[in-house]
Amino acid sequence: MMQAPKTLRTDALQAIETCAGWNSRLAARRVTQFLEKRMTGSGLTIAQFGLMAQIAAASDDTLGTLAERLGFDQSSLSRNLHALEREGLVEIAVVERDQRKRAVWLTENGARRLEAAMPIWRSAHAALAEVLDPRLARQLASASQALMEG
């Protein structure tokens, strides 16, 4: 059986089908859009919710540690945090023991907003779980950690 000649179109189609970068970004956009639609009543975007949850769960509240855990560069993290700071949801301050470091924590208002968003987030994730296995995203995030070390 003769194989069709390679063309740019067939190469591009194969690249689209097999590219981990493209397909993971496509999946992330779709999941984000799905969750955003369901988070509207919370007053937080899914990105804000996730960032605030990371802050609430942190045992080390320095910006450097948070950026590393999130896979963000310092400037992207700062931009996202300053938006939350303007809304009075987080506070950023210099660490007393090391003036070069800054720490972040939820304000009382931020903690209340995150707590109020939790039931909406749980409902959104229950709807997502009907379509996607909830372990997939965690497995991908865990497996991709090796990329940061290599």
Dump pLDDT digits (tens) for 37-48.
999 989 999 999
Contact 126, 37 (CB under 8 A): no
Which residues, at least 6 apart from 54, have a Cβ–Cβ distance to it below 8 Å?
66, 69, 70
Q: pLDDT tens string for the chain (150 positions)?
A: 677 678 999 999 999 999 999 999 999 999 999 999 999 989 999 999 999 999 999 887 889 889 988 888 888 999 999 999 999 999 998 877 776 788 899 999 999 999 999 999 999 999 999 999 989 988 988 888 888 776
pLDDT tens figures, 13-44: 999 999 999 999 999 999 999 999 999 989 99
Q: Which CATH class is domain 8-145?
A: mainly alpha
- pTM comes to 0.84
Q: 106 phi and psi, to 5 degrees?
A: -75, 140
